[in-house]
Amino acid sequence: MLVGIDIFSGAGGLSLGAEMAGAHIAFAVEKDKSAAETYRFNHPETPVLCADIHDINPLEHLPQLNPDDQLIVFGGPPCQGFSTSNTVTRNMKNPNNSLFEEFVRFVSVLNPDWFLFENVEGFMRFEKGKIRDLVKKCFEELGYTANDALLTASDYGVPQHRNRYIMVGNRHGIEFQFPEKQDKVYTVADAISDLPTLVNGQMEEKMSYTLPLSKASEYARSMRKGSKASMQNYVSRNAEYVVERYKYIKQGQNWEAIPSELMQNYKDRNNCHSGIYKRLVPTKPSVVISNYRKNMLIHPWANRGLSVREAARLQSFPDSFIFKGTLMDIQQQIGNAVPPLLAKSVFEQILITEAN
């Protein structure tokens, strides 16, 4: 069996994908209390260490492994310093950038059969690729054969165009081949068309689906397994002037469609990010679901932001997955997560490779 240790786990997107593939998670490490609470609720049998990773000796928490077990350490160190969207602190002075050293420490101490290192796509280009080369060299010096790739979530069953950098290594000399792209591409409409009709600021814990299971999309049916209702239908309450802006934006358009007289609180419209005030296109995969509240991502048909459940669907979290914390905590957890179905594809490929 593949036995995993999830560090910098967040809400548990990587762990969920690993479990879907057939892995068992020995323990997880997550410093943020709300994210750790979400992880515990959805993985009740997995110990979660809510502590600073610098203070953790992983050997103290590693269970007894069976002779046939394969150990894998996986996770994504906080990526604020590596992200291409962060132009202020994108340098090695950002303390978050040194956290990859803790990942390397866990691998060095535990000597796992495999590791999976995940980060934002900007990681590949950070410091002109020098950091990516440094991380790879660290693993190679520990005896690992490491391969990396930039994967797009929409190629692996996730209704979202989201790129993630992934490095997979093993100490068996295997040149890991990343999974082939899937033929089926799911859209925003596939993901959310059966979810409740909501308005700006509506906060409903439990609501009925708008379509029977038989009429829902293939993707929606897969998300509804184990759930009888749509949970956590929470929509941030935007100010009326924000909702007024929404009315001018058609599917696929962004803030540029808003009349200038309604954008007077922006000192320089030229500094607006292209992802601000983006209305989703129902016939395509979603744009990146990161900080979707701050970016004012707009529902494809309604003049409001996305609900928690809609964003979770676009990230491929099943409806049975419940998030904990304040609304802002939950939105951040969803935006930070690795899409579980993307993770599932990679872990399945690791298991196939190991079996061969």
Residue numbers annotated as active site: 79
Rg over CA atoms, the chain? 21
Spatial contact of 74 and 14, defined as CB atoms under 8 Å apart? yes
CA 250/CA 166 separation, integer angstroms: 34
Report how far residue 343's alpha carbon sits from residue 338's, in angstroms, rounded to the nearest whole number: 7
Enter the DSSP assignment of 84.
T
- The SS3 of residue 219 is helix
- Contact status, residue 23 vs residue 2, Cβ threshold 8 Å: yes
Distance CA 80, CA 87 (A): 10
| Beta-ladder partners of 301 | none
DSSP for 127-192, written as a single string? GGGHHHHHHHHHHHHTT-EEEEEEEEGGGGT-SB--EEEEEEEESS-----PPPPPS----HHHHH
The conformational region for residue 10 under phi > 0 = left, psi -120 to 50 = alpha, else beta, is: left
As a whole number of angstroms, the distance between CA 25 and CA 68 comes to: 15
Task: Give 262's Cβ-side CA count (13 Å radius).
Answer: 17
CA distance 82 to 164: 12
The rounded distance, in Å, linking the Cα atoms of 195 and 307 is 10
Q: Is 59 helix (H, G, I), strand (E, B) or coil?
A: helix
CA gap 287, 281 in Å, rounded: 9
Q: Which residues contact 95 (CB under 8 A, 6 or more apart)?
A: 81
